[in-house]
């Protein structure tokens, strides 16, 4: 497969996303080709990324290298790990033209990008995403962040990488649940803006989930293009970019209600959230029955476990609605929802009272 290139244009300049097979083993050359001539490089690496891939990247970079290995979990997306990264950069006397490269999923990416953004007011940052979710979602758009005891991603910056190297060879070692997490975002991208991409996914879902060529490459590429178009129009999430949160208001509340337990991870919560947002849209005559059916059928093909009843009971409703009400996107006592009008078209301007949402859940649990 020929390496594909997508250029993201921001108000701070442009940067390329390269998508291909085994391209990370050429990282050293790719840095130079993209005018990154650092004399020192810090690699922040997810411990679960296969060692042979890391070895190839290290070998390709001739400059002085430092390495930090981290375990990837939400607890580690923390100020103390930012301090750890900054300490190495300071101790080794990095300057702004030197470079920090993250090799990992969204957690290592968000943490590293945040650290790079605040080091001497901005160190060169390169992202090598190693999960499907990071390749189709978190590596695009410049959101960085860490967690605190007050919540997830509440501390962060907008900061763009100079280069993203999306090597699909990393995906071979990903566990099935992580594949589904990434697929949730691909599926979401199709629903929010591209019906023909949804049709492609619907036709080829089996091959995509098995990472068969050329289906997986096309899914990643198309998905990145959709996110690119949205973030380029609205970098700071003032308007249009909100549609990327489709399914997430419900999804975040589901994750939070279960105390972020491993029973339901983020991507799975997003799929449940998409299903709820589609049901809510259908109940309120915003979405037609045919498209609703297509969406529910597709979710069932991802996995048969995506039904609210497998995770919640009627007694959980109040808790879920309470978490929905504390969502960052609400500015009054109503809940903002992003709802779907038809496949390929969503709108973020809907507002509903807490009572109405509660009734929706009550109805749901009454009908099962």
Ligand X SMILES: NC(=O)c1ccc[n+]([C@@H]2O[C@H](COP(=O)([O-])OP(=O)(O)OC[C@H]3O[C@@H](n4cnc5c(N)ncnc54)[C@H](O)[C@@H]3O)[C@@H](O)[C@H]2O)c1
Rule CB under 6 A: which residues touch ligand X? 46, 48-49, 72, 74, 77, 104-108, 110, 130-131, 133-134, 137-138, 141, 143, 153, 170, 173-174, 178, 181, 266
Pick 255 or 291: Cβ nearer ligand X: 255
Judge residue 214's burial from the number of C-beta atoms within 10 Å of its C-beta, 0-12 exposed, 13-18 middle, 19 or more buried.
Answer: exposed
* Helix axis angle, 215-233 to 176-193, nearest 10°: 50
Shortest distance, position 245 Cβ to ligand X, whole Å: 10
- Active-site annotation holds for 143: yes
Dihedral (CA of 111, 113, 117, 122) sign: positive
- Active-site annotation holds for 95: no
- Active-site annotation holds for 189: no
Taking the C-alpha atoms of residue 366 and residue 360, their distance in angstroms, rounded to an integer, is 10
Shortest distance, position 294 Cβ to ligand X, whole Å: 25
Catalytic hit among 178, 185, 217, 268: 185
Shortest distance, position 130 Cβ to ligand X, whole Å: 4
- Active-site annotation holds for 202: no
- Residue 85 and residue 112 in contact, taking contact as beta carbons nearer than 8 Å: yes
- Residue 99 and residue 125 in contact, taking contact as beta carbons nearer than 8 Å: yes
- Active-site annotation holds for 298: no
Pick 74 or 300: Cβ nearer ligand X: 74
- Residue 135: phi and psi, rounded to 5, are -70, -30
Shortest distance, position 137 Cβ to ligand X, whole Å: 5
Pick 145 or 346: Cβ nearer ligand X: 145
What is residue 127's DSSP assignment? Answer: E
Pick 49 or 320: Cβ nearer ligand X: 49
Taking the C-alpha atoms of residue 52 and residue 94, their distance in angstroms, rounded to an integer, is 27
- Active-site annotation holds for 248: yes
Nearest-CA neighbor of 131 among 110, 155, 161?
A: 110
Catalytic hit among 127, 147, 194, 245: 245
Catalytic hit among 2, 91, 121, 285: 121
List, by residue number, the catalytic residues.
121, 143, 185, 227, 237, 241, 245, 248, 252, 266
């Amino acid at each position: 497969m020929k390496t594909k290139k997508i250029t993201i244009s921001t108000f701070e300049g442009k940067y390329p996303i390269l998508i291909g097979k085994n391209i990370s083993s050429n990282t050293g050359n790719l840095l130079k080709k993209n005018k990154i001539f650092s004399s020192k490089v810090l690699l922040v690496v997810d411990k679960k990324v296969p060692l042979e891939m890391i070895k190839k990247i290290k070998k390709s970079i001739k400059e002085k290298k430092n390495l930090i290995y981290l375990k990837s979990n939400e607890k580690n997306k923390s100020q103390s790990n930012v301090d750890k990264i900054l300490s190495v950069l300071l101790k080794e006397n990095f300057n702004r033209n030197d470079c920090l490269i993250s090799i990992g999923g969204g957690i290592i990416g968000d943490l590293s990008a945040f650290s790079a953004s605040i080091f001497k007011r901005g160190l060169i940052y390169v992202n090598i995403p190693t999960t499907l979710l990071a390749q189709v979602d978190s590596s695009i758009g410049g959101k960085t962040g860490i967690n605190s005891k007050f919540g997830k991603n509440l501390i962060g910056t907008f900061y763009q990488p100079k280069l993203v190297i999306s090597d699909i060879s990393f995906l071979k070692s990903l566990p099935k649940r992580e594949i589904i997490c990434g697929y949730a975002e691909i599926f979401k991208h199709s629903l929010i803006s591209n019906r023909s991409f949804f049709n492609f996914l619907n036709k080829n879902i089996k091959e995509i989930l098995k990472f068969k060529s050329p289906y997986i490459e096309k899914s990643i590429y198309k998905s990145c293009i959709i996110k690119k178009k949205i973030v380029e129009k609205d970098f700071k999430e003032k308007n249009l970019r909100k549609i990327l949160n489709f399914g997430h208001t419900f999804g975040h509340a589901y994750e939070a209600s279960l105390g972020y337990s491993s029973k339901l991870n983020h991507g799975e919560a997003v799929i449940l959230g998409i299903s709820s947002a589609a049901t809510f849209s259908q109940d309120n005559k915003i979405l037609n029955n045919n498209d609703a059916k297509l969406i529910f059928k597709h979710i069932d093909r991802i996995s048969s476990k995506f039904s609210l009843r497998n995770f919640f009971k009627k007694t959980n409703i109040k808790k879920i609605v309470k978490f929905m009400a504390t969502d960052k996107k609400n500015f009054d006592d109503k809940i903002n929802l992003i709802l779907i009008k038809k496949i390929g078209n969503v709108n973020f301007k809907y507002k509903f009272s807490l009572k109405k949402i509660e009734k929706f859940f009550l109805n749901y649990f009454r009908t099962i």
